[in-house]
Amino acid sequence: MGSDSGKKVDFRAIEATLEHDINESLPYLTSDEKSSTLREATDIIVSANTSEKPEQQQHQQQQQQQIVKPWVHFVAGGLGGMCGAICTSPFDVVKTRLQSSVFRDAYKSKATNINAFNVIGIHFKETCSILKGVYTTEGPRALFKGLGPNLVGVIPARSINFFTYGYSKDVIKQSSIFKGNESSLVHLLAGISAGFVTSTVTNPIWLVKTRLQLDRATSKVYKNSLDCFIKIVKNEGFLSLYRGLSASYLGSVESTLQWVLYEQMKIIINKRSIASKASGTRTKFDEVSDWFARSGSAGFAKFIASLITYPHEVIRTRLRQAPMSNNGKPKYTGLVQCFRLVVKEEGLASMYGGLTPHLMRTVPNSMIMFGTWELFTKALSKW
């Protein structure tokens, strides 16, 4: 019994010891102003990013700074589209005439050589010759025929396109599927969304523009854009304003492809920009050269996209032109039927009619439009 009593545990002493230890540890277990539990999320992110490379940190900061309000895209896109349309309007007139059947015989190409470079040279020469002929026979104003409805179409079209693309990209990127990560698939889905919305809203405007550009000076049918709109609705019905809409949807593939290519090239340019900032060698000249590089990327992306998807332009023009057959019925009734009939009557080469003036217009137009859009985006984002 004596030995057992010597081994008896003193619970009061243990309790006192535990209480003392708890009191000593309490300041470390509770949260104060500098503890991690009450720290701002941005502080945690910054501390976590200290292990990353400076280039990665700068790239993340640049992505955060590039977030732009949707209305800025809307306004800047419209202004960029307006500048591009005015500068390249004469080429648009030539392209539309070469795509149509009305002017096919008058502007029939002599480029039959299989040598691609010779064909390009002949097409360039013929395009300049057509510009000179239109200027001589119809006057300088004819080179800007259809510019009114073109601007009425371009400004909202580009505003809607840039707005929808930017907004769709942000929404898709922040979805549970992509979780904030930007990829080519995000650019593709955003481009499809922008193309669909833009084509649906602006198709009537483009139809009026096409009719005005195909209106001969010797036998004018339409006085102006409003007169053209009224006569189309009165004589052909309201739904005729959406002729060529299926081809326009098909044409949205071109703008989607351009967006994807442009975004990929812009990533390469931005990486080079980040590297120069990290090394501390970046100058004002580098900023200007990067702007030219991004504008050039837009033009190159448009060039590639146009070569791949150009036939839809011819089909769309023919559907909007709406010529009548010998029996008094519309010659072209749909997308597929129009394609088959044009290839049957005029050959597959006719699917690329007006390609040279089209490229001469769209490539510099894209460079001007995207370059102007970027400048206005930076300026308006400061407001």
Alpha carbon 352 to its chain's center? 23
Distance of alpha carbon 297 from alpha carbon 62, whole angstroms = 20
Q: What are the φ and ψ backbone dihedral angles of 50, each rounded to 5 degrees?
A: -65, -20
What is the CA angle 110-111-114, rounded to 5? 145
Residue 328 is classified by DSSP as S
Distance of alpha carbon 338 from alpha carbon 267, whole angstroms = 40
Question: What pLDDT tens digit does each residue of the chain (383 aa) get?
Answer: 444 545 555 667 766 676 666 565 544 444 443 443 344 444 434 444 444 444 444 444 444 445 678 889 999 999 999 999 898 888 888 777 776 655 555 555 555 554 555 656 666 777 788 888 888 888 888 888 878 777 877 898 899 999 999 999 999 998 888 988 889 999 999 999 999 999 898 888 888 878 887 776 556 788 888 888 999 999 989 988 888 788 788 778 889 999 999 999 999 999 988 888 888 888 888 889 999 999 999 999 999 999 888 888 788 778 877 778 778 788 888 888 888 888 888 888 778 777 877 788 889 999 999 999 999 998 998 87
Identify each DSSP E strand in 205-316 by its residue range. none
Identify each DSSP E strand in the chain by its residue range. none
Q: What is the pTM of this model?
A: 0.67
Say which CATH topology domain 69-381 has. Answer: Mitochondrial carrier fold (1.50.40)
Total residue count of the chain as it appears in this document: 383
Name the strand (E) or helix (H) holding 304. helix 284-309
Q: What is the pLDDT of residue 333?
A: 82
What is the CA angle 307-370-64, rounded to 5? 120
Q: What is the pLDDT of residue 20?
A: 65
Q: CB atoms < 10 A from the CB of 365, how many? A: 25
CB 78 within 8 A of CB 128: no
Return the domain boundaries, the chain.
69-381
Q: What is the pLDDT of residue 105?
A: 55
Alpha carbon 287 to its chain's center? 22
DSSP result, 95-153? HHHHHSSSSTTTT------S-HHHHHHHHHHHHHHHHHHHHHHH-GGGGGTTHHHHHHH
